[in-house]
Amino acid sequence: MEPLSKPKKLMPTGVCWCGCGTELGVGSFFSPGHDKIAEAKIIREVFGDVAHFVAAFGKAPGDARPIEEVLVTIANRARLVQALRQLDELREVISGALVEAQVGGTDAKGA
């Protein structure tokens, strides 16, 4: 099956795209083997496991959904994952602010 559209040209950034932080030479996106690490990480984060990843793309046996429907499902899933990530960040900010407020409150009483 052909890709739906030609992917846009990407430029290496000098560090491994798996997230390990390894500095790379010109022209490389990944340290050797780290492309698989990045792939597995995204599949796990977005789909949970490979079976759900395959099913999400309409490739489970017997799945005859049109590709448009499959793509909408995947786009919604990606938006959900992003929203949950933002929610986690917000939770951390709020809990940090609460801890600061409590510490501040204790200091104020003690002073």
Smallest distance, Zn ion to C-beta of residue 91, A? 28
**Beta carbon nearer to Zn ion, 34 or 56:** 34
Give the single-character DSSP code of 9: P
List contacts with Zn ion (CB under 5 A). 16, 18, 20, 31, 34
CA distance 8 to 4: 12
- 57 touches 74 (CB < 8 A): yes
Q: How many other C-beta atoms can be found within 10 angstroms of the C-beta atom of residue 88?
A: 10
Q: In whole angstroms, how close is the CB of 34 to Zn ion at the nearest point?
A: 3
Least CB distance from residue 13 to Zn ion, whole Å? 12
Report the residue number, 16 or 56, with the smaller CB distance to Zn ion.
16
